[in-house]
Chains A and B, each alone.
Chain A
Amino acid sequence: MSVTVEAPMPGKILAIKVRAGDTVKEDDELAVLEAMKMENLIYAPAGGTVKEIKVEAGQNVVTGQVIFIIE
């Protein structure tokens, strides 16, 4: 079962903390999103393997944009 991790608000992805193929647990840190001049951590909503990373560090994202797909 796939779980998508979406951008919770518009901003810039400052850092991606995992790679495709990594195994993650629920609440692991996945990325850092800069929004409104504040760095915010994005956490894994569920455990699994990072199947796909849809954005890169430095990229601007909008609310709801898919960042990770976890299986």
Chain B
Amino acid sequence: MVEAISNGLSGLAAGTLHLHWTNPVMIAIGCGLLYLGIKKDFEPLLLVPIGFGCILVNIPLADVMGEGGFLRTIYDAGVITELFPLLIFIGIGAMTDFSPLLQNPVTFLLGAAGQFGIFLTLGLALLLGFTQLDAVAVGIIGACDGPTAIYVSSQYAPHLLGAVSVAAYSYMSLVPVFQPPIMRFLTTQKEKNIIMSNKGIKPVSKTAKILFPLVMTICGGLIAPMGLPLIGTIMLGNLMRESGAVSRLTKASENEIANVVTLFLGLSVGATMAGDAFLNPKTLLILALGFIAICLDTVCGVLFGKLMCFLSGGKVNPLIGAAGISAFPMSARVVQREGQKYNKRNYLLMHAMGANAGGQIGSVMAAAVMLSVLKGMGII
């Protein structure tokens, strides 16, 4: 009798008795992510489920990520299969208006330049001792795009998924903080004051808007077939939006599907943040390199903007280069605010939106190109 009671009581105490020092630390980190998401409004749709998933996986003996655990089930269903980031991408495509990009196709190039941070950071990660595939996962933080980062890291460096995702989503929220100083530092007063008129910008026909996702999918897929799932899903969403023929599917993609998958994806990512895997010096290095990646994106975008300014005889304001990253539409708004700070007569928003939409396409293409190059080299 006494033994039975004692065994029963030990069952209640087991969780606390099995606490490892990493568990309370990670629970605190999970709470920190919740604080950022709830109180500071930093990408709450992802940071709240990630933070909560992190707390769940760090409570001992619950084994939520063990065989048959509910988080393991969700993780295997959508992260291992890469289904979750792709379903979110359909929603993103359905929500995005690429008209500003199509009205000014030269902004495709700014979208490309804004991805150079991926490749530069990959090189830096290699120099710092990361393995080749780990360096790929670290570099992809520079895509400044959650689903892309998750897609690449879950397949090629799943042990880094937690750190890469947290870095990608946290830094996306910080774009309005770290972009302005870089823009200020890299441009001259004369360049900052360049006024870009919106008068020459014409609307785009519905036919062109429908053909765009088809062209991107077919051409992008032929050039970089390893990235077709990424390209295809975002373009499917966009095609549904622009065709107007399947509004129920479009609405479901941008609402119900995107919301449910976002919840499951966040929980799954949080579930990879077990203390023994997450708490090591490598994680801090990944967080630092992720920050560097996005800063380098901004640097390269602005520098490319300066090149375009020079080649156009001073018509292009280099500040719009900073919007060539995938943080859409946040980065375009940052450029508009900064541009008007220096010259109240300057309305860079439409041009910056073009660059920002170009950044969205650019991040997908950069990931696709990188994966295809890796395949060609026999690395994957």
Contacts and interface: CB of A to CB of B under 8 A. Distances in A.
Interface of A: 8-9, 27, 35-38, 40-41, 43, 45, 63-64
Given A37-B329, A38-B333, A63-B198, A9 B344 contact: no
A27 B353 CA distance: 25
A63 B333 contact: no
Given A8-B347, A9-B347, A9-B350, A40 B199 contact: no
Contact of A9 (B329, B332, B333, B349): B349
Contacts of B340: 40-41
Q: Is the interface of A mostly helix, strand, loop or mixed?
A: loop
Contacts, number: 33
Contacts of B347: 8-9, 40
Interface of B: 100, 198-199, 201, 329, 332-333, 336, 340, 344-345, 347, 349-350, 353
Contacts of B100: 36
A36 B345 contact: no
B349 A40 contact: yes
B345 A9 contact: no
Nearest to B347: A8
A45 B336 contact: no
Nearest to A6: B199
Contact of A63 (B199, B329, B344, B345): B199
A45 to B, nearest CB: 6
26 contacts: A9-B347, A9-B349, A9-B350, A27-B344, A35-B350, A36-B100, A36-B329, A36-B332, A36-B350, A36-B353, A37-B329, A38-B329, A38-B333, A38-B349, A40-B336, A40-B340, A40-B347, A40-B349, A41-B340, A41-B344, A43-B344, A43-B345, A45-B345, A63-B198, A63-B199, A64-B199
Contacts of A40: 336, 340, 347, 349
A55 B226 CA distance: 52
A36 B350 CA distance: 8
Given A9-B347, A35-B349, A63-B198, 14 more contacts: A8-B198, A36-B100, A36-B329, A36-B353, A37-B329, A38-B329, A38-B336, A40-B347, A40-B349, A41-B340, A43-B344, A45-B345, A63-B199, A64-B199
Closest 6 CB pairs of A and B: A8-B347, A43-B344, A9-B198, A63-B198, A9-B350, A27-B344
